[in-house]
Chain A
Amino acid sequence: MTALSDLRLIDLSTNIAGPFCTKLFADFGADVVKVESTDQVDEARALGPFSGADENPEASGMFLYLNTNKRSVTLNLDSEQGKTLLRELAATADVVVESFPPGTMERIGLGFDALQDIRPGIVLTSVTPFGQSGPWRDYQATDLVQYAASGLSYINGVPEREPLKEPGYESDYQAGVCAFAGAMTAVCHRDVGGPGRHVDVSILEAATSTLAPQLLMALHSGVSSERRAMGLPTGLVPCKDGYVFLNVRHEQTWQQLWRFFDEPQLANDPRFATAADRRKKSRELEDFLAPRLARYTMEELYHGLSDLRILVGMALDIPHLMDDSHLRERDFFVTSQHLVAGELSFPGAPFKMSKTPWMLVSPAPLNGEHNEEIYTGLLGHTSKELDNWRSLGDI
């Protein structure tokens, strides 16, 4: 059995954060009904990547990853019939997830209080750039803006260049996990008699919450951290075929490192006698290590030094990541067939649960693929009504 098979979600969210939240629900068994409006499809259908020059909205890689195991219906939010159908869907739901600009749900008559009237105990989850309140609630953002405001960009990169955001759209995924956690907290409380709740997720807060150590240091020392992400002690150093992370501050690991290099006497170099020296003189230390590290590949260093209990990591690029022996043994990446996009490989289970495992049951749906099934099967309307609504542009 799946863990969340008793839950139905109505998913009005688009792009990444909201859909990643509902993907977690769907991948652990919830019935997620993705609602797309007839005149504006989910932006993730345009994000790509695409396998060829044709940017078919049914074959956008991001959309296909974010919407596995969901069903899709279309409806027109501007028409009365569309709104009626949405209320009928909400009346069957445990959780509604949305990512509209704050105030939109109230405007279309589906604010938190209205939803409680339609379905007492329902959990409304709102995922927006800055949350439902505060002076920035109507501000516009992308991942770039979130990492700038969170403080992370300022410390990513090197001092002589511009600050760097995290790659891709990571803050959206972080907010998606937070939205799932907030909604599931309310669901678990409901299991034991708790009330319906409005879960308010700010992508900025999700991004900022990962920065605790740096923020606290700034708060208590009064000094902001600088960009210093390259080289020792916290960054990456070059080797024969790539880059590795390496921590050899502690005495035992320092000795072991030189044994690995087969030059044990160099562990006694007076410039680097103590852990404090090695920390302080990190640039000099890098120069000292560089010719030795250049003799070995990432793999040789990773396995050789790990066996000696030295903290080391390889900077894997995506092809090497997808071919990584550890991830293969754990069956992390999954492969599936999609009607339009063909064969796809993507990350599978985010964690492995012994009784209620992550499952890939169906690929991401085509736009409106389940109109018939949901409007007639779930809501009990007739095919004739559907034909009528189609001709009027309601669905």
Chain B
Amino acid sequence: MTQPGSTDQPLAHLRAVVFTQAVAGAFTTKLLADMGAEVIQIESLTRPDPIRGGFPPQLSGTYPDNLPGDRPYNRNANFNSLNTNKLGITLDLGHQEAKEIFLDLVRISDIVAENFAPRVMPNFGLDYESLRQVNPSVIMLRMPAFGCYGPYSQYMGNGGTTEPMSGISSLLGYDGGPPINSGVMHTDPVAGMFGFASLLIAIHHRNRTGEGQIIDLSQQETSIHLISGQVMEFGMTGETPSRQGNRDRNMAPHGNFPCQGDDSWIAIAVRSNEEWRRLGAIIGDDDLAADPRFADLAGRLEHVEELERIVAHWTRDKEAESITTRLQEEGIPSAPVLKTREVFKNPQLDARGFFESVDHPETGAFLHLGAPWRLSGIPARTRTPAPGIGQHSVQVLSNLLGIPMGEIDDLVNKGITGDTPNLDG
């Protein structure tokens, strides 16, 4: 069979059988697969992973060349980026045969992961206890939006709701303006990173003791860790942390300043008096660098509006990229505020090969985001493209479980497995 792992991949000794879907769960298991584990992603033919983008006329995906094609669910860039290096099979768990096949896979796997609503797996009769009966040392990761228990655990949730429910939205916004959500479902991938971290802890424990366990990860909770400073602030000062735009109580100037060109901006952060003197010397003259109002942080914060006016006056007729180079030569933190298209041209990401390419049978060469760290001795991380729906069903059921071809044909005829979604389901 296709061997997505190879012996020099760090996690090639692990197999995971997963129902992770959408973004948070799929990102966890993408990282697992990118690090070498054999990840078998299970979908149902009647309800494929929603991140595949649905079917005409209700398509909600991103398609290469803007062409959804005959099988849009196999061409959607969002799914294809989040599921590299995985095997894809279909099983309709509404059927008893499918449950037994799933349990047979659990028997030979190390990890089960899912991010359904908490009621779904127990409703299938596939809670942690039933998995443990067939594999006592299995590791099960469950990652619903609000965790597996507690009053909100049965409520619906996604990145759009967990961001405001984590407190992040209350801190994101302009001074005096309303709270806002990020321009991307920010809490989803954050939960995905923590999910992978939790699996590694469980794997190390199992390597030492042979013992498995169950992990309950709430997307709301993982996100709150990102604003722990503001949580501490309320407890320590009694004051409600507020929206401050781009300002920071430890740094000034600290903001995105307008540049030459349409909606063009540069981020500039000054961390110390010394950095301010250098910036002052670049943008004004020695008088500005020596202006006593701006000599220390307290003064710069007190006169922050005047300070920002002076910086903006200097940036306004200049190109963001060229002044970034100039400021960085002087050791001043700065970068152009890149538009999403421009991120692909960032020379730093490019030099490090952050965007990886892999051939995909239904899209051709496909660019996606690699894992955000490098391990020495592991040059390339993408081994196989994301699977088409059910692409590896026959391979996994036949080669891995030894199910005879005749029985597999029966399963396909009953709609339990296969590679053609059932829209009427």
A interface with B by C-beta (< 8 Å): 1, 3-4, 6, 24, 28, 46-51, 61-62, 64-65, 112, 130-137, 139-142, 144-159, 161-170, 173-175, 177-182, 184-189, 191-192, 194-195, 197-202, 204-206, 208-225, 227-230, 234-236, 238, 242-245, 247, 302, 306, 309-319, 321-322, 325-327, 329-330, 332-333, 341, 343-347, 349-356
Q: Cβ of A317 and Cβ of B81 under 8 Å apart? A: no
What separation, in Å, do the CA atoms of A162 and B166 have in the docked complex?
24
B178 A230 Cβ-Cβ under 8 A = yes
- Contacts A188-B200, A213-B185, A217-B62; is A163 near B237 (CB within 8 Å)? no
A245-B166 Cα distance, complex, nearest whole Å: 12
Whether A321 pairs with B183 at a CB distance below 8 angstroms is: no
Residue pair B337, A326 in contact (C-beta under 8 Å)? no
Name the contact of B341 in the complex, choosing from A152, A218, A349 (C-beta under 8 A).
A218
A347 touches B221 (CB 8 A): yes
Contact B205 A315 (CB under 8 A): no
Give min CB distance, B25 to chain A, whole Å: 13
Total contacts A-B at CB 8 Å: 505
Q: Is there contact, CB below 8 Å, between B180 and A235?
A: yes
B145-172 CB contact bits vs A (8 Å, 1 = yes)?
Answer: 0110111110111101111111111111
Given contacts A61-B236, A184-B200, A229-B182, contact A316 B164 (CB under 8 A): yes
Q: Which residues of A contact B125 (CB under 8 A)?
A: none
Mask, B183-221, CB within 8 Å of A = 1, is 111101110011111101111110111011111111011
Q: How far is the CB of A376 from chain B (nearest CB, A)?
A: 29
Could you list 22 examples of A-B contacts with CB < 8 Å? A47-B229, A140-B331, A148-B336, A149-B267, A164-B256, A168-B230, A174-B226, A181-B31, A185-B10, A191-B207, A195-B377, A213-B62, A215-B343, A215-B369, A225-B340, A229-B181, A318-B231, A321-B170, A326-B220, A327-B150, A327-B224, A347-B221
Query: Chain A residues with Cβ under 8 A from B172's Cβ?
Result: 156, 164, 166-167
- Contact A151 to B342, CB < 8 A, known contacts A142-B271, A354-B214: yes
Interface contact B335-A170, CB-CB below 8 Å:
no
Residues of B near any A CB (own CB < 8 A): 10-11, 13, 23, 31, 35, 62-66, 77-78, 81-82, 146-147, 149-153, 155-158, 160-174, 178-186, 188-190, 193-198, 200-205, 207-209, 211-218, 220-222, 224-237, 240-241, 243-246, 248-251, 254-258, 263, 265-267, 269, 271, 328, 331-344, 346-349, 351-352, 354, 367-369, 371-378
B99 to chain A, nearest CB (A): 23
Interface SS majority for chain A: mixed
Contact A355 B213 (CB under 8 A): yes
B62-A167 in contact (CB<8A): no
Query: Of the candidates B65, B146, B203, B369, which one forms a contact with A209 in the assembled complex, judged by CB atoms under 8 Å apart?
Result: B369
The answer to whether A194 and B10 have CB atoms under 8 Å apart is: yes
Check A236/B224 contact, CB under 8 A, given A50-B236, A245-B161: no
In the complex, the chain B residue whose C-beta lies closest to that of A275 is B58
Across-interface contacts of B167 in A (CB, < 8 A): 316-318, 321
- Rounded to whole angstroms, the CA-CA distance of A214 and B62 in the bound complex is 10
